[in-house]
Amino acid sequence: MANDSICRFMFENLGIRGEIVRLEDSYQTALDRHPYPPALAQLLGQAMAAITLLGTTIKYAGKLILQVQGSGPVNLLIVEYDSERHIRGLINWQKDVFLGAEIADLFGTGHMAITVNPQDKANRYQGIVELIEPSLAGCLEHYFKQSEQLATCLWLVADANRVAGFMLQQMPGIDADGDDWRRIKLLAETLSDDELLNLDEEELLHRLFHEDDIRLFESETICFHCTCTRERIEQMLLNLGKEEINSIVAEQGSIEVDCEYCNKHYSFDSVDAAQIFTDGNPGFHSETRH
């Protein structure tokens, strides 16, 4: 079993598909970048598992972004997953939260947005739901109910070292109240957190569904990778405007930027800063997060 992988499966003849994801290295890499308290580390891990479950069947080149914003101790949770199977994510928070905190304890009132962002930008799509369920998995199930009309069930679990996720989803055109769906869902609900974290895919599926005919696809490897570049940071500085940049340089002698996702450091001295505003630079973009 690879450390970070996702594996798809399908129930032959039932019109139900599923996925199992396990992340260890990419989860630890995200945690190495920021000293998250345990509850927030596990929240980030669960979100990383969730975005891979949601993004793996997407066919186009581009990325999928899950973002939760709120007024509580946690202001922002953002995870991104792209068609190269690269993942990155971060949390901005004000206050620590107890382990096992519910979504309302974490975010107060807020909303969750899922953005489908293809490279060609032509079919960009964003779905937004309010945070009315106690868990991240519940909020995502609510999102599917609202936007996709595909019945979907998710299980997400994290400890200090690893995260795992399990998803079941009806395929389009299947009766949402079907007996098969109900039966498979009931069986899946017997899965313990410990089993989800520790059993390998085949054992796990056998443990739950040994009477069913399941096709298991080859697993795919996932890795943490940040898409920040010096050019993107320059673009962000360009958006801040010449006046703002000049005043920072006058005050501090240079501009120092750390990527929030991967902590890579970018430094611009007065010459670099002036260079950003010379001719030939592309026009203004609305994107501010690099």
Binding site for Zn ion (CB under 5 A): 226, 228, 259, 261-262, 264
Tell me how far, at minimum, the Cβ of 196 lies from Zn ion, in Å. Answer: 30
276 closest CA partner among 263, 248, 43: 248
**Residue 145 or 264 having the CB closest to Zn ion:** 264
**Residue 65 or 226 having the CB closest to Zn ion:** 226
Please say whether the beta carbons of 22 and 158 come within 8 A: no
Residue 152 to residue 188: CA distance in whole angstroms: 12
Residue 231 to residue 238: CA distance in whole angstroms: 10
Helix (H, G, I), strand (E, B) or coil at 162: coil
Cα end-to-end span (Å), the chain? 33
Tell me how far, at minimum, the Cβ of 33 lies from Zn ion, in Å. Answer: 9
Residue 122 to residue 116: CA distance in whole angstroms: 11
Contacting residues for 280 by C-beta, under 8 A, at least 6 apart: none
**Residue 182 or 289 having the CB closest to Zn ion:** 289
Composition of the chain by helix, strand, coil, percent to 5: 35, 30, 35
**Residue 111 or 264 having the CB closest to Zn ion:** 264
**Residue 183 or 264 having the CB closest to Zn ion:** 264
**Residue 91 or 139 having the CB closest to Zn ion:** 91
Q: How far is CA 285 from CA 115, 237, 281, in A?
A: 18, 11, 11
Tell me how far, at minimum, the Cβ of 105 lies from Zn ion, in Å. Answer: 29
**Residue 158 or 226 having the CB closest to Zn ion:** 226
Tell me how far, at minimum, the Cβ of 44 lies from Zn ion, in Å. Answer: 16
Please say whether the beta carbons of 15 and 173 come within 8 A: yes
Tell me how far, at minimum, the Cβ of 238 lies from Zn ion, in Å. Answer: 18
Count of residues in the chain: 290
H or E element that contains 164: strand 163-170
